[in-house]
């Protein structure tokens, strides 16, 4: 029992530290930042949110855009990615969450709560790669979402044990069959972001010269055999469509169609199932909780995903081969297009700061979660 004394002392320190006035923490942190960087508080205009190293590294090492000029260690960030990186003027910063919903929520929650930053006028741009639905877009495409849907927040049956009349092993929470609206709502099922801002981001990104690869050209041509995959058989472009969040990295026509149906169900038919990712609903929930306390402006969020691989096989291909062994050729173009399209968005925001972005882009749609937490009435749910 000799360890209880230090443990109790540690617990009491944390309790008393947490009870200290915010001003004391801010003054202390301000002194540290002032000595290290010449700034008492950082108020970036844009924060780029990456999820893992390849997405982050595409922003590093660019001579005319040194986002590694300032590096701030923030408590609560990933052990693998403990720093926020910023340009010398502090206008643009980048953070890496780590992959999966837990890492994303913890990192963004810690960042938003950090006393090192003032995010009240900051634009957050989630910028990562994703799987893609060939009915909507193709390898290397750059997509901007209006909705993020947590598609895997459901009951699940192994397909070998599901009832014969079920079309999928996924059943909404509180329902008794696929396709029924869930009766148990957690609040993270759907987020809607600022459509007017999204449209501006699309306009900026359309000026980018997108990267492609010979392997991607060859692989996507195999989808031309099916008329419904016409979008997947074309070259990369900028597409407005929505993102599905699932910690499970899934592949196959049946699962993809099931989650497309979930997207349709949870958005009252207005969502366009397009990209598949692991983190976005988690990051958006953390940002929403920050918005509840005035730490961030939820109408200043952009969700950009570039397409690295198809979510289903082409006709005649096994789903396992599509996921595990096929050389789809989309990864490198998707990584490069994060920067190529993303930098155009950043430039648009910075160059238009005084004209419009400083005061904010007024949303013309509902913005927030399924609960209506930030006010207004959701147009879904």
The answer to whether residue 338 sits within a structural domain is yes
C-alpha 330/C-alpha 130 separation (Å) is 10
User: What is the structure's pLDDT at 25?
Assistant: 40
The answer to whether residue 16 sits within a structural domain is no
C-alpha 161/C-alpha 169 separation (Å) is 8
List pLDDT tens digits, range 240-281: 999 999 999 999 999 999 999 999 999 999 999 999 999 999
List pLDDT tens digits, range 286-308: 999 999 999 999 999 999 999 99
User: What is the structure's pLDDT at 212?
Assistant: 98
What count of other Cβ atoms lies within 10 Å of the Cβ of residue 35?
A: 9
The answer to whether residue 305 sits within a structural domain is yes
The answer to whether residue 85 sits within a structural domain is yes
Q: What is the pTM of this model?
A: 0.91
User: What is the structure's pLDDT at 33?
Assistant: 78
Tokens coding 56: 């982050």
Which DSSP state fits 73?
A: E
| CB contact set of 172 (below 8 Å; sequence gap of 6+) | 154, 155, 178, 180, 181, 182, 183, 262, 265
Number of domains, the chain: 1
Q: Say if residue 366's pLDDT is above 70.
A: yes
C-alpha 286/C-alpha 51 separation (Å) is 15
User: What is the structure's pLDDT at 16?
Assistant: 31
State the burial class of residue 31 (Cβ atoms within 10 Å of its Cβ: 0-12, 13-18, 19+). Answer: exposed
Q: What is the CATH number of the domain that holds 208?
A: 3.40.50.1580
E strands, 142-217, in order: 142-144, 147-150, 154-156, 170-172, 190-192
C-alpha 355/C-alpha 171 separation (Å) is 48
User: What is the structure's pLDDT at 35?
Assistant: 78
C-alpha 366/C-alpha 194 separation (Å) is 8
The answer to whether residue 177 sits within a structural domain is no
Longest dimension (CA), the chain: 72
Q: What is the mean pLDDT of residues 364-370?
A: 97
List pLDDT tens digits, range 57-91: 999 999 889 999 999 999 999 999 999 999 999 99
With cut-offs at 50, 70 and 90, classify the pLDDT of residue 32: confident
Q: Say if residue 4's pLDDT is above 70.
A: no
Q: Say if residue 3's pLDDT is above 90.
A: no
The answer to whether residue 210 sits within a structural domain is yes
**Cα 79–28–82 angle (5° rounding)?**
10
Q: What is the mean pLDDT of residues 361-367?
A: 98
Length of the chain: 381
- Domain range spanning residue 124? 23-153+188-369
User: What is the structure's pLDDT at 40?
Assistant: 66
The answer to whether residue 17 sits within a structural domain is no
Q: Say if residue 202's pLDDT is above 90.
A: yes
147 forms bridges with which residues in the sheet? 192
Distances (CA, A) of 33 to 46, 178, 185, 296: 19, 53, 42, 21
User: What percent of the chain is modeled with pLDDT above 90?
Assistant: 88
With cut-offs at 50, 70 and 90, classify the pLDDT of residue 18: very low
List pLDDT tens digits, range 117-163: 999 999 999 999 999 999 999 999 999 999 999 999 999 999 999 99
What residue spans of 155-279 are helical by DSSP H? 195-205, 214-220, 253-266
| CB contact set of 171 (below 8 Å; sequence gap of 6+) | 154, 155, 156, 157, 177, 178, 180
Place of tokens 């005649």: 316
Give the DSSP H or E segment for 30. helix 22-37
| CB contact set of 164 (below 8 Å; sequence gap of 6+) | none
List pLDDT tens digits, range 100-111: 999 999 999 999
């Amino acid at each position: 029992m000799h360890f209880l004394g230090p443990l109790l002392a540690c617990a009491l320190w944390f309790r008393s530290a947490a009870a200290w006035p915010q001003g004391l923490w801010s003054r202390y942190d301000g002194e540290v930042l002032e000595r290290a960087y010449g700034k008492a508080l950082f108020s970036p205009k844009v924060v780029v949110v990456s999820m893992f190293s390849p997405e982050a590294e595409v922003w590093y090492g660019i001579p005319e855009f040194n986002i590694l000029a300032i590096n701030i260690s923030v408590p609560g960030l990933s052990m693998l990615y403990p720093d926020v990186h910023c340009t010398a003027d502090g206008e643009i910063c980048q953070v890496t969450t780590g992959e999966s919903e837990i890492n994303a929520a913890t990192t963004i929650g810690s960042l938003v709560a950090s006393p090192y930053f003032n995010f009240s006028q900051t634009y957050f741009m989630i910028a990562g790669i994703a799987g893609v639905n060939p009915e909507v877009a193709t390898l290397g495409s750059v997509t901007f979402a209006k909705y993020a849907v947590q598609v895997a927040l459901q009951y699940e049956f192994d397909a070998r044990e599901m009832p014969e009349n079920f079309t999928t092993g996924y059943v909404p929470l509180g329902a008794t069959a696929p396709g029924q609206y869930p009766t148990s709502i957690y609040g993270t099922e759907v987020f809607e972001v600022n459509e007017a801002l999204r449209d501006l981001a699309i306009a900026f990104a359309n000026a980018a010269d997108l990267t492609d690869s010979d392997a991607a050209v060859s692989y996507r041509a195999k989808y031309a055999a099916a008329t419904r995959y016409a979008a997947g058989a074309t070259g990369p472009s900028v597409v407005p469509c929505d993102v599905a969040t699932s910690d499970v990295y899934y592949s196959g026509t049946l699962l993809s169609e099931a989650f497309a149906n979930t997207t349709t169900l949870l958005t009252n038919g207005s969502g366009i199932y397009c990209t598949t990712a692991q983190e976005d609903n988690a990051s958006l929930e953390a940002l929403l909780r920050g918005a509840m306390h005035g730490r961030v402006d939820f109408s200043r969020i952009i969700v950009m995903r570039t397409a690295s691989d198809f979510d289903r096989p082409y006709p005649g291909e096994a789903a396992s081969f599509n996921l595990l062994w096929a050389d789809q050729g989309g990864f490198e173009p998707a990584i490069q297009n994060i920067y190529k399209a993303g930098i155009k968005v950043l430039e648009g925001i910075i160059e238009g700061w005084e004209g419009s972005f400083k005061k904010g882009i007024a949303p013309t749609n509902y913005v927030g979660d399924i609960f209506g937490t930030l006010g207004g009435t959701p147009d879904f749910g």
